[in-house]
Amino acid sequence: MKNILLTTALLALTTGAAAAQTVRLGTEGAYPPFNFINDAGEVAGFERDVGDEICKRAALTCEWVTNEWDSIIPNLQSGNYDVIIAGMSITEERDKVIDFSQNYFPPAASVYVATDPAADVATGVVSAQVGTIQAGHVAESGATLLEFATPDETVAAVRNGEAVAVFADKDFLAPIVAESNGELMEVGEPVQLGGGVGLGLRESDTELKAKFDAAIQSMKDDGSLNALIEKHFGPETAKF
């Protein structure tokens, strides 16, 4: 009995290469409404819907996995999953190490959110998530950058006074501000960063990239992508 169990375990681990290749989608699962773990313990959000639809159109079997944000690129490269779908903005710097599909979310604004309308975002302590374009922007802006591993912690830092403001995607912060009963507010001017959100792929996966590009294009063409953006981010968000 033990042997049978062991053998099946080994088989499950090593065979199955003959069947259609499963594409593993890696996401962070902590960045609502882009991606988050819902109360049933499953990946949900805008990117869940987009990813499932893209896979359907490209006729691929996809599986969702979660990974910490700060190791999401190295783990793609070492092959733990095949695609990054985690609200990752297309930037030149990242494009040097991985490839991006065309964007499935238009270039968006990043905003500062604080508890005090007079918060000094130019020279004060500003929190941002580690390894994001927002963190890079804060570091260059002259403010003191306070980095956190998860998006949630960056907001908590403002609430408990560790930072005067948090700098992140407007679409992530907007629902948090709206539900804070006036505790949090947008301050300063919105900043346009990055070239939209795209799928991250290994540079050697050109075939997969072409399939995804085509699927995203078809979603843009028939308006289903815009419908999903509106469903998750509200009618005021920029669309294609």
Partner 1 sequence: MFSSCADPKAIEGLTWLLCYLTSGKHLDFYASFGTVLALLAITAPTALAFGFFGAMAARSPMLPLRLLGQGYTGMVRGIPDIVFFLFFVIALDQGIEWMVHQVRCPDWTEPVRQGLEFRVCPEAKVPSSNAAQTWHSLYGFGLAVFTFALVFGAFAANVLTGAMAAVPRAQLETAESYGMTPRQVFRRIMVPQMWVYALPGLSNLWMILIKATPLLFLLGVKDIVYWARELGGSKTQAYEYPHPDWRLYYFLFLLCFYLLMTWGSERVLGRVSQRLSLGQATAAGEAQRKAAA
Residue 79 makes contact with partner 1 by CB under 8 A: yes
Let me know if 96 is exposed, middle or buried by CB neighbors in 10 A (0-12, 13-18, 19+).
Answer: exposed
Q: Is 37 in the site for partner 1 (CB under 8 A)?
A: yes
Q: Does 204 help bind partner 1 (rule: CB under 8 A)?
A: yes
CB of 127 to partner 1, least distance (A): 14
Give the separation between CA 185 and CA 118, rounded to whole angstroms: 10
Work out whether 182 is an interface residue with partner 1 (CB under 8 A): no
HSE of 96 in the Cβ direction (CA atoms, 13 Å)? 2
- Tell me the closest approach of the beta carbon of residue 32 to partner 1, in angstroms: 4
Interaction between residue 159 and partner 1 (CB under 8 A) = yes
Cβ neighbours for 21, distance < 8 A, ≥ 6 positions apart? 60, 61
* Contact pick of 77, 109, 221, 223 for partner 1 (by CB under 8 A): 77
Question: 137 or 200, CB closer to partner 1?
Answer: 200
Comparison of 28 and 143: residue with beta carbon closer to partner 1: 28
**Which residue has 């960063």 as its token pair?**
193
Exposure string over 209-223, b if 16+ CB within 10 A, otherwise e: bebbbebbeebbeee
Q: Are 99 and 91 in contact (CB under 8 A)?
A: no
Give the x-and-dash track for 116-155 against partner 1 (CB under 8 A): ----------------------------------x-xx-x
Verify binding: residue 164, partner 1, rule CB under 8 A.
no
Q: What is the DSSP letter of 71?
A: G
Neighbours of 158 (CB within 10 A): 25
User: For binding to partner 1 (CB under 8 A), which residues are involved?
Assistant: 12-17, 19-24, 29-30, 32-33, 36-42, 45, 63, 65, 67-68, 74, 77-79, 82, 97, 150, 152-153, 155-156, 159, 175-176, 179, 202-204
